[in-house]
C-alpha cells in the first residue's frame, strides 16, 4: 500500500482524538512535515501509523484500534528499530510482530482543560535560538541519571516556546515545547528540566506555567504534555496548573529481534 499523502484525510483521522494526536497534527505543519511518513488503514474507520524520521531513531505513532492497525503493520514492520508512542494494545501487537521493548515506559498524556489555567506573573527569561549551547549543557546534567530530555534539538528552540531561570550567568532550569503548530491549533510542552543541585524550589511549576501562558496567548486550543506514570511530583504540578490525564500510553525503544538475528 503506498504511503498516504492526502493531508486532509490524515487530519480528519487525527481530529477524532486531538489530545492523543497532538504531535501528529503538528507534523502536518510545514516546519515539521518533511520527515513524516504516513500509513493509513484501507477501511472506513480512523486508523493510521506515522513514522517520523526527524531523529536518528524514527518515532512510531499509531492511532486507531489494533484490529484496524494490523493491516498497516507490514508497512512499518521491516524497520529495524523505532521509538514508540503508542497505546498498550499496539505495543503488544508489535511484540507479536517480532519487536522487543525492553524498557517500556508507562506514560500519561495530559491535556490542559479549558478555563482551568490561572494566569500568574512568572519571573522567568525567554530563550531564543542563540541559547542552544547553554540549554544543551543544562540538559547534559541529567545524563548520569537518565533524565536528559531525549529528543531535544535546535529546531525545537527555533520553532518553539522556551523559558528559563538563571543564577547569575548560569542557566539552572528551563521548560519549553516539543512542537508548536499554531495553524493546527496544537502544542506539546516538554524539555522541562531543573539542574540537580537546584531542585525543590518550584522552578518546574514556574516555567511550565510560563510556557502554558504563552501558548494560550498565541491562541493554541490544544496544549498537551507527557509524564511518566510513576512521577507523582510532576503529575501533581501539572494537575495544579490545570492539566488532566487524557489517556495512558507506552514509550520505549522497540527493536526488531528477527532483523537483528538476520544480521
Summarize pLDDT for 196-228 with one digit per residue, the tens. 999 999 999 999 999 999 999 999 999 999 999
pLDDT at 263 over 50: no
Spell out the residues 6+ positions from residue 135 whose beta carbon is closer than 8 angstroms to its own: 127, 152, 157, 162, 164, 171, 174
Report the phi/psi class of residue 3: left, alpha or beta, with left for phi > 0 and alpha for psi in -120 to 50: beta
Q: Provide the pLDDT for residue 258.
A: 76
8-60 pLDDT per residue, tens: 999 999 999 999 999 999 999 999 999 999 999 877 678 999 999 999 999 99
Number of domains in the chain: 2
Q: Would you say 81 and 257 are in contact if contact means Cβ atoms under 8 Å apart?
A: no
Q: What is the pLDDT of residues 130-184, one digit of tens each?
A: 999 999 999 999 999 999 998 899 999 999 999 999 998 999 999 999 999 999 9
On whether both 122 and 99 belong to a single domain, the answer is: no
CA distance 169 to 166: 6
Mean pLDDT throughout 230-238?
94
220 close to 180: Cβ distance less than 8 angstroms: yes
Residues 119 and 216 in one domain: yes
Is residue 78 located within the same domain as residue 58? yes
101 part of a folded domain: yes
Residues 83 and 180 in one domain: no
Cα–Cα distance, 247 to 106 (Å, whole number): 11
Measured from the Cβ of residue 83, the count of other Cβ atoms closer than 10 Å reads 18
Cell numbers 514509550 correspond to what residue?
Answer: 251
| pLDDT value, residue 197 | 95
pLDDT of 150 reads 86
pLDDT computed for residue 217 by the predictor: 95
- Cite the beta strand spans of 74-140 per DSSP E: 81-86, 99-100, 105-112, 125-126
Average pLDDT value for the chain: 93
- For residue 57, is it within any domain? yes
Q: Which residue matches cell numbers 529546531?
A: 155
The reported pLDDT for the residue numbered 1 is: 55
Residues 92 and 154 in one domain: no
Per-residue pLDDT at 48:
95
Cα separations in angstroms, 100 against 20, 64, 94, 95, 257: 24, 22, 8, 6, 6
Structure confidence by residue, pLDDT tens digits, 186-199? 999 999 999 999 99
Q: Please state the pTM of the whole predicted model.
A: 0.93
Assign residue 76 the CATH number of its domain. 3.40.630
In terms of residue numbers, what domain contains 58? 7-107+250-262
Establish if 238 belongs to a structural domain: no
pLDDT, position 262: 45
Our measurement of the distance from residue 93's CA atom to the centroid of its chain's CA atoms, rounded to an integer in Å, reads 22
Q: Which residue, chain included where needed, has cell 529495524?
A: 80
Inside any domain, residue 97: yes
Whether residue 121 is found in the same domain as residue 215: yes
* In a shared domain, residues 88 and 120: no
Assess whether 90 and 120 both reside in one domain.
no
Q: Flag whether pLDDT at 253 surpasses 60.
A: yes
Residue 227 belongs to a domain: no
Closest CA to 92 of 230, 254, 227: 254
Q: Please indicate, yes or no, if residue 195 is contained in any of the structural domains.
A: yes
Residue 260 is predicted with a pLDDT of 61
Asked if 46 and 72 touch (Cβ cutoff 8 Å), the reply is: no
Question: Once rounded to an integer, what is the mean pLDDT over residues 70-86?
Answer: 93
In a domain, 244, yes or no: no
Q: Cα–Cα distance between 214 and 119 in angstroms, integer?
A: 10
What pLDDT, on the 0 to 100 scale, is given for residue 2?
A: 62
Q: Please tell me whether residues 126 and 91 are part of one structural domain.
A: no
Asked if residue 175 is part of any domain, the answer here is yes
Locate the DSSP E strands across the chain. Answer: 36-40, 48-52, 59-63, 81-86, 99-100, 105-112, 125-126, 163-167, 170-181, 186-194, 222-228, 243-256
Q: What value does the mean pLDDT take over residues 109-128?
A: 88
- The predicted pLDDT at position 223 comes to 98
Q: Would you list the DSSP string of 140-169?
A: HTTTTTT-S-TT--HHHHHHS--EEEEETT
The CATH number assigned to the domain holding 212 equals 3.40.630.30
Amino acid at each position: 500500500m503506498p504511503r498516504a499523502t492526502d493531508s486532509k484525510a490524515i487530519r480528519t483521522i487525527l481530529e477524532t482524538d486531538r489530545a492523543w494526536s497532538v504531535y501528529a497534527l503538528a507534523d502536518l505543519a510545514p516546519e515539521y512535515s518533511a520527515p513524516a511518513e504516513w500509513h493509513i488503514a484501507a477501511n472506513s474507520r480512523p486508523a493510521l501509523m506515522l513514522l517520523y524520521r526527524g531523529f536518528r531513531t524514527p518515532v512510531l505513532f499509531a492511532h486507531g484500534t489494533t484490529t484496524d492497525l494490523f493491516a498497516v503493520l507490514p508497512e512499518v514492520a521491516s524497520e529495524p528499530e523505532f521509538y514508540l508512542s503508542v497505546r498498550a494494545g499496539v505495543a503488544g501487537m508489535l511484540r507479536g510482530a517480532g519487536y522487543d521493548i525492553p524498557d517500556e515506559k508507562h506514560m500519561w498524556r495530559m491535556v490542559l482543560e479549558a478555563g482551568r489555567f490561572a494566569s500568574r506573573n512568572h519571573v522567568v527569561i525567554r530563550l531564543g535560538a542563540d541559547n542552544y549551547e547553554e540549554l544543551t549543557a543544562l540538559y547534559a546534567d541529567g545524563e548520569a541519571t537518565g533524565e536528559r530530555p531525549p529528543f531535544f534539538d535546535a529546531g525545537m528552540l527555533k520553532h518553539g516556546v522556551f523559558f528559563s531561570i538563571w543564577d547569575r550567568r548560569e542557566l539552572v532550569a528551563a521548560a519549553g515545547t516539543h512542537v508548536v503548530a499554531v495553524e493546527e491549533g496544537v502544542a506539546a510542552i516538554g524539555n522541562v528540566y531543573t539542574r540537580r543541585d537546584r531542585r525543590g524550589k518550584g522552578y518546574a511549576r514556574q516555567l511550565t506555567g510560563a510556557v502554558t501562558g504563552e501558548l494560550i496567548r498565541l491562541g493554541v486550543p490544544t496544549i498537551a504534555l507527557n509524564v511518566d506514570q510513576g512521577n507523582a511530583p510532576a503529575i501533581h504540578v501539572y494537575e495544579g496548573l490545570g492539566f488532566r490525564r487524557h489517556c495512558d500510553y507506552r514509550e520505549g525503544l522497540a527493536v526488531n529481534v528477527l532483523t537483528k538475528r538476520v544480521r
